[in-house]
Amino acid sequence: MNNTLRLFLLPVAVTVAASLTLAQPAAPTPAAAAAATPAAPPAPADAGPFKFAFGSATPATGFTAVRPDTIYSKAAGFGFEAGAKATDDNAAASGVKQSIMLDFAPAKNIKVGGTGTAAFLTSARPFYFSVAVPEGNYRVTVTFGDPAAASENTVKAELRRLMLESVHTDAGQVVTKSFIVNVRQPQYPGGAVRLKSPRESVDEFWGWDDKLTLEFNGAHPAVRSVEIAKADVPTVYIVGDSTSCDQSKEPWTSWGQMFTNFFKPEIAIANHGESGEAVASSLGAHRFDKVYSLLKAGDYVFVQFGHNDMKGGNVNNYQASLGRIADEIKKRGATFVLVTPVERSNGANNNTLAGYPDAVRAVAKEKGVTLVDLHDLSQVLYRAIGDNLKEKAFQDGTHHNKYGAYEIAKCVVAGLQTAKSPLAQYVVDGFAFDPAKPDPVAEFKVPASGVVNPSQRPAGD
């Protein structure tokens, strides 16, 4: 992997006289690369609840004012991500060794609209708001609305997890929406996940730090308020490879990042997958140990591997490992969901994953666990998309773009419904999807996040 981070930021449509001095991104030092995971967890942050009024200089009782120059700091514990180079104190507080933060320049790009209780914040480009919180699940409630114009709002969380898609308000209309965000850290009792450096410890630090980070996006976002409170809800854990994990930079996207969009605010999605991983390497990096430490009755664990396991691996060992994982999850009272590996772009009419999909099917049958046959579902989808499949749905031969990941996530949800999984009760009302009838590419409107790096591809194939 190329360790130099290239940033391609979306065009800035507005400017202001005030300026903000920002540190330039820097490549990680050898010391940073050597210290991917700290030995001790960060000090506990306040779990809230929090209430923030965006734009108002005189917020209602119980709300804290947030203005364009409210920049995140360790002392304040909330604010907009400003692109300042991380200090040793920041790194220690986050629990993840950081070399950079990304250049978002809130003071240049965020504008106040409306007045009084109708005030809101908006921007011509994505903007990012963080709150320091302990590990766990949080209910986030956002109120949108511009008193003078229509607004269009998309919200993502942490590493580009799609939470709200195209929330529209007419001029003068106010709409409030809620969703659940999972915040994770590397440590667990007796150990820590062995993070990849610099991919996880630097480039993906928002996925492991002690903050809940929200991305506000859309043609004309109008954010009036944000409320955050601890949520006691079941959790769906995803453990997998680059086709399902959180990808930090556009246009690379996985189905796990879109999966969050299709569930009610009654359940959390916690993605513990990582690029380049196989079952054996995830076990060795303690990714499963971390998930096991968190499991409780009523939780779910999705496991999807195969792409990297087949490179020099042994399908019998792969199958045996999945069987042992099934036993560990059952012991903890959680529900195991096995997902066959999603096909590559050249696999619409043939199997490029050898015996690995069949191995997953065999374990599901032997252990009596839910199976989502994403291998078959993805082939149906690809054939339906038809000509120019790779151009429409993929970023390379294996990894999807946003549209492809969105459609694959729908396949997974549809697979849950077909399998009559109890998890289907949490799917948003009215959801229905037939992979043989994909959404038209031209109608896909999820906006790009603010950091684009086509050359920094996910690990693995």
Could you give the angle at the alpha carbon of 47 between the alpha carbons of 45 and 48, nearest 5°?
A: 120
The CATH T-level fold of domain 1-6+19-232 is Jelly Rolls (2.60.120)
33 or 145: whose pLDDT is higher? 145
The pLDDT assigned to 105 comes to 66
Strand pairing category for 191-192 and 187-188? antiparallel
Question: Which CATH number, 3.40.1280.10, 3.40.50.300, 1.10.3720.10, 3.40.50.1110, labels domain 233-445?
Answer: 3.40.50.1110
Q: What value does the mean pLDDT take over residues 210-217? A: 96
Question: How many angstroms separate the Cα of 247 from the Cα of each of 88, 206, 241, 257, 274?
Answer: 25, 11, 10, 8, 8
Q: What is the pTM of this model?
A: 0.87
pLDDT tens digits for 255-292?
A: 999 999 999 999 999 999 999 999 999 999 999 999 99
Where does the chain hold its CATH 3.40.50.1110 domain(s)? Answer: 233-445
In the predicted structure, residue 193 carries a pLDDT above the cut 90: yes
Q: What value does the mean pLDDT take over residues 166-181? A: 98
Where does the chain hold its CATH 2.60.120.430 domain(s)? Answer: 1-6+19-232
Q: What value does the mean pLDDT take over residues 393-422? A: 97
The pLDDT assigned to 203 comes to 85
DSSP string, 394-413: BSSSS-B-HHHHHHHHHHHH
In the predicted structure, residue 25 carries a pLDDT above the cut 50: no
The pLDDT assigned to 43 comes to 56
Q: Which of 42-51, 159-168, 195-204 has the highest mean pLDDT?
A: 159-168
SS (H, E, C) 319-375: HHHHHHHHHHHHHCCCEEEEECCCCCCCCCCCCCCCCHHHHHHHHHHHHCCEEECHH
In the predicted structure, residue 47 carries a pLDDT above the cut 80: yes
Residue type, 359: A
In the predicted structure, residue 116 carries a pLDDT above the cut 60: yes
Confidence bin at 45 (pLDDT 50/70/90): confident
In the predicted structure, residue 192 carries a pLDDT above the cut 50: yes
Q: What value does the mean pLDDT take over residues 137-159? A: 98
pLDDT averaged over every residue in the chain? 87
The pLDDT assigned to 312 comes to 84
pLDDT tens digits for 67-113?
A: 999 999 999 999 998 753 333 333 344 444 333 335 566 777 899 99
Q: Look up residue 215 and give its two tokens.
A: 């991305």
Strand pairing category for 300-304 and 335-339? parallel
